Structure formats: structure tokens, C-alpha cells
Amino acid sequence: MTTKLPEVDVVVVGVGWTGSILARELTKAGLRVVGLERGPRRTPGEDFTVPSIRDDLKYAVRQELFQDTQMETMSLRHARSETALPVRRLGAFLPGTGLGGAGAHWNGVTWRLLPTDHKLRTHLSERYGAQAIPDDMTITDYPVSYDELEPYYDRFEKLCGVSGKAGNLRGKIIDGGNVFEGPRQAEYPNPPLEQSVAGATFETAVKSLGYHPFPAPSSNASRVYTNPEGLTMGACIYCGHCERFGCESNAKASPGVSILPALLSDDKFELRCNAYVKDLVHDKTARKVKSVRYVDTRSGEDYEQPASLVILGAYVFTNNLLLLYSGIGEPYDPVTGKGSVGKNYCYQVGAAGVTVFFEDKEVNPFMASGAHGIMIDDFNGDNFDHGGLGFFGGAWIQAGPTNGRPILSRPVPAGTPRWGRDWKRATAKWYNHAFNIGGSCCNYAHRENYLDLDPTYRDALGRPLIRMTYNFKENDYRVAEYVTAVLGRIGRAMNPTLINTPAYRRGNFSAIPYQSTHNTGGTILGTDPKESVVNRYLQAWDADNLFIVGASVFPQNQSYNPTGTVGALAYWAADAITKQYMKSPGPLVHA
Amino acid sequence: MAGDTIPRRGFLVGVGLAGTAAAAGVAASSPASAEVPAPNQSSATEGAAAPGNREPEPLLALNEAEHAFIVAAVDTIIPADDLSPSGSECGVATFIDRQLASAWGGGAKMYRSGPFLRGKPEQGYQLALTPREFFLAGIAATNDWTRKTYGKDFDRLPASERIAALTALEEGKADLGHVSARQFFNALLTITMEGFFADPIYGGNRNMASWKMLGFPGLPATYANVIDQYRDKPYTAAPQSIADFS
Ligand SMILES: Cc1cc2nc3c(=O)[nH]c(=O)nc-3n(C[C@H](O)[C@H](O)[C@H](O)COP(=O)(O)OP(=O)(O)OC[C@H]3O[C@@H](n4cnc5c(N)ncnc54)[C@H](O)[C@@H]3O)c2cc1C
């Protein structure tokens, strides 16, 4: 039996980064908002406390805070001709669950896209000719320009108290910041974090090569900071337990630190945790979502919550699933190229990391923040000439450890055995004298990479799993090979005692090793309802009272970590709702 | 089990010291026996389980033969030397036993619906077995193989043959029948490293031996006041565990 509840103004599905932002903005605008979160209620003050939060085994290895695959997982195949099998244990990526979502246990690297990323297809066509873009590379422009989004990037950065250094202040290029970034209206809210010897060594080397280093833009506050919500962050203590952990010093921006204390004290907001959303009730004729159905996992009771406005902020996989379960939009068909739900699923491609070893340097990798180190952007996006290279895109490159937690982080020179006497010698010898140089490459959309429903495997609620048909493609391999060569060049310029420069191996995407939780696409932004799921305001073409927020709207994935853009787009959508939609509910774009 | 006559736990408790030293390829009188700590080891071995005088920990998941296997395996993977006591002396076998008895060992956070098909390696683990069931199957299959190959259970092999046996598993050269040797070895290696390097509250890494070996300070990990001062300088602090703050 399903209990039908009285109608509310807004239901927000998922109370992570995007759900919290939308709920906050809409309650501020006077609406009554219910937040439905599948996981438990967690608060930093009660759940992320020393000493227990420093438990490497529990949080980093046994995955305490992540989606429970016993409830729900995804299946994977590399091509349409194969049978997808379930990802039985999370590995490559780690979606969050519980209040705050993955925003509770992210690292905090906080980027804006390049202005050219915003108009990718147009830009590449203009510079290299439209025919240079391969047919099966289904990249598009964002229908929102960098200039339009700039105030919202700024807003999210202020919410998070991002520490960094501007490289382009209102058009003025500033040495020591990221000189490739688009113009920003203001300096970062906080100065950069302290650097490690690894960052300093990298900085000297890349300068000698003529590149442009800058400190990582970091949502780990370099000093005590009060954000526009009136909420105060502590200063980062460089504890080296950031990604995969909650932050006990409130120095890492998160929904729990940066928004929820304000939101939860507003009685126009009602939070329901353990509320697992199953589907949306869609009125196809009226082109509206009427209600949201969920099960309370504490009682097993089913509920239907009617609402005038529905926000999906439930991360890439659920955002796609709920459309597919509810018959909203046309599922993408890779054979005909028709349909759009599930289209342009993207991820990121790691280059082969280079490790440098210095007999005479003390790295102290355990003194680190999550978004640490020095970076360069010289080989990202279209910041370098791709003429004749045979690929598009690139990577941001970084050095400076983010932790020295020894279960997962023990660099040893190539050729060291994995166990026994010699393994131990090398491990003890190099632990404090080595660090990585890494690059995270973009992943441009490909016609054959997409999401749909698995025909065989089901979740604990009896619904089909989401199925990823996904593999790295030629462009990805070439970017990674190119970036790997750059990493090697930088590593050698540091004159290390030893260097591991593994050749990039062209392998299949693997679900096993962690790469990043930067999944994107499937409910993409666009200007044409046939080619996209949401319009430029993140409003669904097929239901004007449905807004979909999160990286599921990215038309393709850049090299950058997504959350800066995700947060900016969330504020942008909130503004469209409060300033336009609330005045006259209906489609904000007429296609 | 192969007609063993000496009860394994007695065997371990009684002559474990010599056995461990042999496994490590060092003489029984070496510093590994914890009598004379090496200079860089001032406290790593102090109070580290001198096997002869520590009562065996009660077993939660493993039987005695399985436990003996795990002790032999972790002592081969992490031999005693001047850097640290052996894996089992550091409690890694206890750690593994407890992990296999934990919710994780019982398959928590693991999708377990069929059909169970053999996938491509990149699709990840695809067996119906929980970690606990998988380890027990792997131990049994390895012992079957060492009996066929060397005439004895794994834990009864001399150090050189243990090393050879684990190498054969690692390289996928041992035929373990229904169990994949490589897959079992990788699981064994991973859980051994987890036990050696995790906080001691889980039963391994006794006396923070591995943290002392690395120079990892453990907790409470508050470096705002020292990150600048210790840039490129050795930071030596006696490590502390979660238990030291609880
Ligand atoms: C280990 C890790 C490190 C990361 N580091 C970085 C970084 O350094 N920089 C960066 O930019 N990004 C990083 N990310 C990514 C970042 O966390 C996400 O981009 C961000 O949290 C996305 O916000 P979101 O609101 O879309 O999803 P989330 O914050 O995850 O929130 C989604 C919420 O929806 C809930 N939900 C899902 N399905 C349902 C359902 N059926 N019913 C009810 N609720 C549901 C989830 O439980 C979750 O709470 C990292 C992620 C991880 C896991």
C-alpha cells in the first residue's frame, strides 16, 4: 500500500551538493521544500569526529560512506556486443549516500571550465575545421557561456571558501595563478594553502620548462572563513585524511558545513532521510511530474509525495535511472542516434602516473590537504595547439601528495617485488622520499558510450540496474599517451634519484582501481529537445516542472573535477526557477 | 588434514619463534627476535608479540589449520627483519581472522545477485562467494596443491618452499583447480597489507610496527603548525593509534 501525502511546493531528490543548494535557494524564495535522501542522516559534529574519523581501513578501504552496492549498483560492458555484468564492489568510482552525498567525502579540488570548454564544438570547428571532429565524437557546446556562468562560479567558490590564486582578474593576467582560466570577477575567497616540498619541486621544474604553475584551487580553507550563508569553516589542519573521509575541523566545504546548518534551521525545509526514491509519476499530456514515489527503508512503507516542482539532484546514475523508470524523455539508441536519455555518458581517463624518488628530500606526504599541490593547465583543453596531433583535449597536471595513508599509498621504484624482504626494504626506504605527478584527462563524448537499463540484473528494490556501455576510445588513448609523455618530461626535469615512467597502456576501462568519481552525462544540456534532456536552465524538455542538476547534464567531460561547474550550474538553475519559473511556470525555452 | 599429528596451535606457540626466523631467512638470534632492537627501531619491536609468550588470540572465522596457513603466509609476505617483526608477530593473522568474521567478510557492501557469469577481468569480482568463503576456498585449494607438489600443507613447508609456493600462486603457475591462483594470491596480499598498515585497533600492526618502520605518525594528524617548519625536514613523532585517543 502506498500512502499519498499532502502536496508540497518542491521535492528535492537527493540531499548532496546540488540538492542542498537548490533546497536552500528555493526555501529562501519562500517555497516549502521536502528533501528526500536515501541514506542516513549524518552531521559533521556527531559523525566526523577524532579519533574515529581517522580510520583508514573503515573509511578509505571498506568504503563506509559510499553507496551500498547490496542495495543498488551498476552493470558494465565495454561494447554493445557484450553482456554487462554487475559491479559487485565499488572500485573505479565511489558515489556517496547519506546526508551531504559525496560532498561529505570529496577532496575539494574546485575548478571552473575554460571559456572554450563552454563552446567546445564551435570552438574546435572554428580553429581546426568542422571536419576535424570525428563523426562518432558526439561533443556539443554548453548552451550557457562562460560569461553567463561566471557569477555563479563565483558564488559557489564563495560558498566553499575556495583557497587559490587568480590567474585572470577581469581580463588582467596574473602570474602565479592559472593564466589560462577565464576572467574572474574576484580573487579567490582565501589565499592558497601551504605547499609541500613536492609542490615546490614540481613548480621549479615546470617553470624551467616554460609552463605556468599555480596552486590547486581548493575547497579546503587555508584560514578560518565565514561564507555568505553565515557559516564558518575552520582552517585546514593538513591531516591527510580528506578524500573518502568527513572533515572534523570543518575546513573542507561540504553540504554539512557550508549549507545544511542554515537549511535545517529553516522550517520551510523538511528533511526525510532513509527515503529511497523509486520513480516519478509523469503526466505525459500535461508535461508535468506530479509526484515522487519512495520507500522508507526503516519501515518498508511506500509513499507518494505530490509536488508542484521536482528537483533531481541524486547524482548521475539516479538522475538517469529515475527518467528511465518513469518514462520521461526518449531513451538513447546508439544504433540510430535517436533519443537522448543516457546519451553522452562520460568519465575521465587517467594518464600513467609518474613517480619520482629523491634520496635527499623529505616529502612528509602525511601533511597534506585533499586538494593540495601545484598544477599546470598548459596541456588542458585547447590551451595548446592540437593541429596535427590527431586528438582533442588534454589534462590538468598536478604534483604534491594529498595523503600518506600507508594502506593505499606506498610508492616503490619499478621492479620492486610486491612482498617479502626486498619489498619491505624498498617500502621503508622510499616512503618519505617519493611522490607522484598525475594528470586527469578529459573524456569527450562518443556515440557508443551510453547508459540504459540492464535487462538482467536488479537492485534490492526489484528495479533494473543502470547499465554502462562504456570504454575508452581512440581519442582518449591518444590524449593519455600525450599527457603521459609530458609527465615523464616534467619528472626528468626534477632530476630525481629514480623515476618510474610507465608507458601508457591502452587498456579497457576497468571497474577495479579507483580513478575518479567524475561520472557525467546521460541527461545532457542542449538547445534541441531531440538531442538533449534539459534546456539551458536545466529544465527537462519533457516536464517543465522538473529540473535536473548535477554532472549528468554535462554534454561531455572535461579534464577538470566537476563540482565547481556542478555547483555553478545549480545556482544558475536556482536563479532561473526563482526569477523566471516561479513568476510564470512553464517551459523557459521554447524549442 | 594430511594426518598431522602435532596440534597446530601448540606447534605455533611452542616453536613459532624459530619457525618465523627461518621463514625470514635470518638466524634465530638476529634482532628479529626482539632482544636487540636495531637503532632505527627503538620501539618497533618493544613489546611486539614475542610469539612464545603471547597467548594465541581466539579465532572467530578460521579453524586452526586455516589459521596456521594464514600465519605462514603473512610471515612469508612480511618476514621479520631489522625493520619490523613478522606479519603474524604484528597481529596480521589475527587481523585477517577478524576481518573475515566481520560484516565485510560476510559480503557487506557487495552485490550478490546472480546470474554469476565469468566476466572480463575489468568487470571485477564476479563470484558468488563472500570474502570469507573465498579465502577458505583458497586456503583449501592451496593446501591441496602444496600437498601434491611438496607433500605437505603450506604451513609445514620450509621457508624457501613457502616463498616458491607463493611465487607460483602470484604468477598463476600453480593449478588450484576451481580457484584462480592469481586471484587468491592478490586477495591474500591485499588483506595482509591492510592488516600490517591499518590502525592497530583491528588487531594487526601491533605496537604500530609498520608505522614506525615508515615514519608515518598515525594520529591525531594535525599539522597546521608544523607543515611549514618541517618542509623537506624529517618529522619524527612517536606514532599514535586511534586507541591512544579513545
Ligand atoms: C572520493 C571522492 C572524491 C572527490 N573529489 C572531488 C574533487 O576533489 N573535486 C570535485 O570537483 N569533485 C570531487 N568529487 C565529486 C563530488 O563529490 C561530486 O561531484 C558532487 O558531490 C556531486 O554533487 P551531487 O549533488 O550531484 O551528488 P552528491 O553530492 O553525491 O549527492 C547526491 C545525493 O543523492 C542521493 N540519492 C541518490 N539516489 C537516490 C535515491 N534513489 N533516492 C534518494 N536519494 C538518492 C545520494 O544518496 C546522495 O546523497 C569526489 C567524489 C568522491 C566520491
CATH number assigned to the domain comprising residue A532: 3.50.50.60
Burial (Cβ within 10 Å: 0-12, 13-18, ≥19) of residue A250: buried
pLDDT at B34: 32
Q: Which residues of chain A have a CB within 8 Å of the CB of B216?
A: 366, 404-406, 431
Given A491, A515, A539, the domain boundary residue is A515
Domain contains B162: yes
Determine if ligand 1 sits within 6 Å of the CB of residue A244.
yes
Residues A363 and A482 in one domain: yes
Residue B54: which pLDDT band, with cuts at 50, 70 and 90?
low
**Are A424 and B83 a contacting pair at CB < 8 A?**
yes
Q: How many folded domains does chain A comprise?
A: 2
The predicted model gives A325-347 an average pLDDT of: 97
pLDDT at B55: 54
Residue A6's SS3 state is coil
Domain contains A165: no
Domain housing A376:
195-216+348-515
Residues A507 and A359 in one domain: yes
The predicted model gives B74-102 an average pLDDT of: 98
Residue A228's SS3 state is coil
Give the cell for residue B197: 598498515
Instruction: Decide the pairing of beta strands A168-169 and A302-312.
Output: unpaired
Domain contains A252: no
d(CA A303, CA A276): 10
Give the cell for residue A56: 583508514
pLDDT at B28: 31
Ligand 1 site-directed mutation target among A20, A22, A38, most atoms within 8 Å of CB: A38
Mean pLDDT of chain A: 97
Residues A319 and A455 in one domain: no
Residue B49: which pLDDT band, with cuts at 50, 70 and 90?
very low
Residues A272 and A209 in one domain: no
Q: Which residues of chain B have a CB within 8 Å of the CB of A432?
A: 214-215, 234
Given A515, A539, A563, the domain boundary residue is A515
Nearest neighbour of B234 by CB, restricted to A51, A89, A362: A362
Phi–psi pair at B6, nearest 5 degrees: -80, 125
Chain A residue closest in CA terms to B166: A419
The predicted model gives A195-199 an average pLDDT of: 95
Domain contains B197: yes
Domain contains A446: yes
Q: Let me know the angle formed at the C-alpha of A542 by A145 and A36, rounded to the nearest 5 degrees.
A: 85
Asked if A102 and A94 count as a contact pair (C-beta separation under 8 A), the reply is: yes
Residue B41: which pLDDT band, with cuts at 50, 70 and 90?
very low
Domain contains A276: yes
pLDDT digits (tens, 9 = 90+) for A104-159: 999 999 999 999 999 999 999 999 999 999 999 999 999 999 999 999 999 999 99
Residue B8: which pLDDT band, with cuts at 50, 70 and 90?
low
Chain A residue closest in CA terms to B225: A237
Domain contains B118: no
pLDDT at B219: 86
pLDDT digits (tens, 9 = 90+) for A543-571: 999 999 999 999 999 999 999 999 999 99
Residues A379 and A431 in one domain: yes
Reported pTM: 0.94
| pLDDT at B4 > cutoff 60 | no
Higher pLDDT among residues A339 and B9, named by residue: A339
B220 touches chain A (CB under 8 A): yes
Residue A502: which pLDDT band, with cuts at 50, 70 and 90?
confident
Nearest atom (ligand 1) to Cα of A97:
47
Nearest neighbour of A235 by CB, restricted to B124, B163, B224: B224
Residues A502 and A538 in one domain: no
Domain contains A8: yes
Domain contains A408: yes
Domain housing B190:
20-30+41-111+130-245
pLDDT at B220: 74
A39 CA from centroid of ligand 1 (Å): 12
Asked if A72 and A498 count as a contact pair (C-beta separation under 8 A), the reply is: no
Q: Which residues of chain B have a CB within 8 Å of the CB of A456?
A: 115
Q: Which residues of chain B have a CB within 8 Å of the CB of A83?
A: 117
d(CA A147, CA B21): 68
- Looking up cell 556527531 gives A46
Give the cell for residue A359: 634520496
pLDDT at B221: 80
Nearest neighbour of B222 by CB, restricted to A237, A405, A410: A237
Q: How many folded domains does chain B comprise?
A: 1
| pLDDT at A91 > cutoff 60 | yes
DSSP assigned state of A511: S
Q: How far is CA A408 from CA A441, B87, B198, in A?
A: 22, 18, 10
What percentage of chain A exceeds 90 in pLDDT?
Answer: 98
A237 CA from centroid of ligand 1 (Å): 24
A522: which strand partners? A343
d(CA A187, CA A170): 10
Nearest atom (ligand 1) to Cα of A14:
34
Sign of CA dihedral A570, A575, A578, A580: negative
pLDDT digits (tens, 9 = 90+) for A349-380: 998 889 999 999 999 999 999 999 999 999 99
Residues A362 and A329 in one domain: no
d(CA B87, CA B193): 9
Residues A372 and A491 in one domain: yes
The predicted model gives A514-528 an average pLDDT of: 97
Return the H-helix or E-strand segment holding A152.
helix A146-160
Amino acid residing at A185:
Q
Chain B residue closest in CA terms to A359: B232
What percentage of chain B exceeds 90 in pLDDT?
Answer: 73
Q: How far is CA A375 from CA A442, A487, A514, B11, B180, in A?
A: 16, 12, 21, 56, 42
Sign of CA dihedral B72, B73, B76, B81: negative
Asked if A397 and A379 count as a contact pair (C-beta separation under 8 A), the reply is: yes
Return the H-helix or E-strand segment holding A2.
strand A2-4
Residues A331 and A393 in one domain: no
Domain contains A443: yes
Residue B7: which pLDDT band, with cuts at 50, 70 and 90?
low
pLDDT at A408: 96
Residues A317 and A380 in one domain: no
Domain contains B7: no
Residue B21: which pLDDT band, with cuts at 50, 70 and 90?
very low
d(CA A205, CA A208): 5
**Are A420 and B163 a contacting pair at CB < 8 A?**
yes
| pLDDT at B44 > cutoff 60 | no
Residues A331 and A378 in one domain: no
| pLDDT at B16 > cutoff 50 | no
| pLDDT at B202 > cutoff 70 | yes
Contacts of B63 (CB under 8 A, 6+ apart): none
Interface-testing mutation among A203, A407, A463, with chain B (most B C-beta atoms within 10 A): A407
Nearest atom (ligand 1) to Cα of A552:
26
Given A468, A485, A515, the domain boundary residue is A515
Asked if A547 and A539 count as a contact pair (C-beta separation under 8 A), the reply is: yes
The predicted model gives A161-180 an average pLDDT of: 98
Question: What are the start-end ranges of the H helices in B38-121?
Answer: 64-77, 92-101
**Are A86 and B25 a contacting pair at CB < 8 A?**
no
Higher pLDDT among residues A498 and A351, named by residue: A498
Determine if ligand 1 sits within 6 Å of the CB of residue A567.
no
Domain contains B232: yes
pLDDT digits (tens, 9 = 90+) for A442-490: 999 999 999 999 999 999 999 999 999 999 999 999 999 999 999 999 9
Domain contains B10: no
Nearest neighbour of B111 by CB, restricted to A69, A425, A508: A69
| pLDDT at B27 > cutoff 50 | no
The predicted model gives A232-245 an average pLDDT of: 97
pLDDT digits (tens, 9 = 90+) for B139-178: 999 999 999 999 999 999 999 999 999 999 999 999 999 9
Determine if ligand 1 sits within 6 Å of the CB of residue A395.
no
Determine if ligand 1 sits within 6 Å of the CB of residue A108.
yes
Catalytic residues of A: 518
The predicted model gives B186-211 an average pLDDT of: 98
Domain contains B201: yes
Asked if A143 and A120 count as a contact pair (C-beta separation under 8 A), the reply is: no
d(CA A216, CA A162): 10
pLDDT digits (tens, 9 = 90+) for B117-133: 999 999 999 999 999 99
pLDDT at A145: 98
Domain contains A434: yes
Residues A563 and A583 in one domain: yes
DSSP assigned state of A348: -
pLDDT digits (tens, 9 = 90+) for A247-266: 999 999 999 999 999 999 99
